[in-house]
Structure 1
Amino acid sequence: MDLELRHLRAFTALAHHHSYTRAATELMVTQPALSRTIQQLEATLGIRLVDRSSRHVTLTPAGQEFLFHARRVLGNLDQAARDMRAHRTLRLGFSWLLPDPWAQRTIARFERATDAKVTLARVDHPVATLETARIDIALLRGHLELTGATVHPLFNEQRIAAISTSSFLAARKSIDWSEFHQWPLVVNTVTGTTTPGSWHPAAAPRTVIPCANYDEWLENVAADRGVGVVPALAARRAAHSGVRFIPLTNAPAIPVRLAHLPTGGRRPLLREFLHAATAPECTATADAVPGNDHGAR
């Protein structure tokens, strides 16, 4: 019979507990099964490891020597497994600021549970990047229709208005969602979450100032080219001296979701990440609100 890891684990557990009963409990096997495993180990080595002449479990001198080698082998194996798990990565793609503290809590929980690492990739088109296998999972905002991807809802974020400090609106304490049709709307056409389609057609802004990224969006708002609407965390993490963020009333929430392709070689890591991402302590984000579409998007 070949020497197997189960033999080493059974022997080290018995040596640790000095009891067949307690060792069997740790290994989740029956006491007779543990006894047979120890006997198989002794038969394989051709030497007695356990002294059965005593009422208590003790090791023979050969058993003491073998215990040193067994623990070293198991320790080296466990370290090798940890080293290999440390090389595993899950690539998370996002097009704009990650929600906080969701991202920090999710990544920490996932990495503790798996010994794997999360690498972050800022991409303009997360779904297309998924299809090229450059990322494994994508964080999405808004109502983008997806085909061929598995989607997991997380929470909804509130919106906030962005107004130039030189605008007559800068003195307002709040702005209602229904008022925006009166003013030009600055729209990030690549990664933005608010467009004229976010309103009912009869109430949508009639003038659009297009741009291609958040920096351009912010500078256009600061220059008073128009007003903007953005997820509320911008007020905390992407401020501009020329822009004032003002609370919105009756604004629809922004759905936040995770998406991944249904196939791939990282399914165990994806399952662990989704488990962490949807844990209550992670989804209780600073800007999470109940869904409130009001017929808008």
Structure 2
Amino acid sequence: MDVELRHIRAFVAVAHHRSFTRAAEELRITQPALSRTVAQLEKILGVELIDRSARRIGTTRAGREFLGYAEQATSALEQGIAAARKDITIRLGFSWLLPDPWAQRAVTRFERGTGASVALVRCDDPLQALGERTVDVAVVRGEVRNAPPAARAVHLYDETRVAVCSENNALADRDRLDWSEVPSWPLVVNTRSGTTGPWSFPAGRGPEHIVETGNFDEWLESVAADRGIGIVPEVAQRRISHRAVRFLPLTGAPPSAVHLVHVPLAQQDLVNRFLDAARTATER
């Protein structure tokens, strides 16, 4: 018999949803393609499995009997896949402070859905790590610059920016800062993975004085030492506890994009599954 896995999955989805439309959405195929697949299965078995005569479709007696076996088959296959993948790991590279609660949602959804695991890899330059193949997916905030050849970027969502200054800075007593005022202050920039720098302003209209740092820790300590102010996504305000810095709401600032960047790999199917989980995790 030429029954294939796609036939089984199509029938189970229709039987569960009692709707070709919702089943097609779950399987990410068109409704006509789904209808043809179920009809092929019925032709192979020589029986009708779906009762299409009522307003809301259901299963025939043969369909209900077959459904139990079909569910056992798909369940056993999923368990087998999970067992085979238990030692497979997707390496997620990030430079500082993974977005929350997105990261926790994405990792949990992916691991539960695939049986594979996610290793969190902290690196100063996630795009460099991606090019060196020491990570499989890179979290990149702001513009995607100097990505490896053939890299693909997926935009997840935008983060709100806030300003950061030393407790000794004149801004520490302010209740907010406007984006138009930023060029008036020395700006501390993380040149490897920062979200705000000279590139964030039109040519000739950015800050005159730039203090360059090579990673997030250097950036934070430079701001604390009052070498200049910093601009970061607001997640930093929730997660950083540093007695020598102050956070200010930043009005009029452009949003900071969060991307996932990857280079097609041999295990691209799992990477795609992680990207799907990541997109879903952005939904509120």
**Does TM, normalized by the shorter one, top 0.5?**
yes
- Equivalent-residue separation in structure 2 for 1:176 and 1:76 (angstroms): 58
Report what 1:245 is aligned to: 247
- Identify if the C-alpha distance between structure 1 residues 78 and 156 changes in structure 2 by more than 3 Å, giving closer, same or farther: closer
| Aligned 8 A contact 1:178 1:203 in 2 | no
- Identify if the C-alpha distance between structure 1 residues 78 and 194 changes in structure 2 by more than 3 Å, giving closer, same or farther: closer
Report what 1:118 is aligned to: 118
Query: Secondary structure at the residue paired with 2:250?
Result: strand
Report what 2:137 is aligned to: 137
* Cα deviation code 1:131-160 (max 9, x no counterpart): 222111111111124441111110011111
- Identify if the C-alpha distance between structure 1 residues 248 and 76 changes in structure 2 by more than 3 Å, giving closer, same or farther: closer
- Identify if the C-alpha distance between structure 1 residues 245 and 111 changes in structure 2 by more than 3 Å, giving closer, same or farther: same
- Equivalent-residue separation in structure 2 for 1:181 and 1:78 (angstroms): 55
Report what 2:68 is aligned to: 26
- Identify if the C-alpha distance between structure 1 residues 247 and 78 changes in structure 2 by more than 3 Å, giving closer, same or farther: closer
* Cα deviation code 1:38-62 (max 9, x no counterpart): xxxxxxxxxxxxxxxxxxxxxxxxx
- Identify if the C-alpha distance between structure 1 residues 102 and 20 changes in structure 2 by more than 3 Å, giving closer, same or farther: same
Identity value in percent:
45
Q: CA RMSD in A?
A: 2.5
* Cα deviation code 1:31-83 (max 9, x no counterpart): xxxxxxxxxxxxxxxxxxxxxxxxxxxxxxxxxxxxxxxx9xxx999876543
- Identify if the C-alpha distance between structure 1 residues 84 and 25 changes in structure 2 by more than 3 Å, giving closer, same or farther: closer
| Aligned 8 A contact 2:82 2:114 in 1 | no
Report what 1:127 is aligned to: 127
- Identify if the C-alpha distance between structure 1 residues 208 and 87 changes in structure 2 by more than 3 Å, giving closer, same or farther: same
**Residues 155-174 of structure 1 aligned to structure 2 (within 5 Å):** 155-174=157-176
Structure showing greater Rg: 1
- Equivalent-residue separation in structure 2 for 1:21 and 1:195 (angstroms): 62
Count matched residues. 220
Gaps of 5+ in 1: 1-18, 30-70, 286-297
**Residues 78-97 of structure 1 aligned to structure 2 (within 5 Å):** 81-97=81-97
- Equivalent-residue separation in structure 1 for 2:76 and 2:255 (angstroms): 52
Query: Secondary structure at the residue paired with 2:108?
Result: helix
Report what 2:101 is aligned to: 101
Question: How much has 1:200 moved relative to structure 2?
Answer: 2.0
Query: Secondary structure at the residue paired with 2:192?
Result: coil
| Aligned 8 A contact 2:110 2:277 in 1 | yes
- Identify if the C-alpha distance between structure 1 residues 182 and 123 changes in structure 2 by more than 3 Å, giving closer, same or farther: same
| Aligned 8 A contact 1:193 1:254 in 2 | yes
| Aligned 8 A contact 2:188 2:211 in 1 | yes
* Cα deviation code 1:157-187 (max 9, x no counterpart): 1111001111111111110011122211111
- Equivalent-residue separation in structure 2 for 1:78 and 1:251 (angstroms): 46
TM-score, normalised on structure 2?
A: 0.71
- Identify if the C-alpha distance between structure 1 residues 178 and 83 changes in structure 2 by more than 3 Å, giving closer, same or farther: same
**Residues 20-59 of structure 1 aligned to structure 2 (within 5 Å):** 22-28=64-70
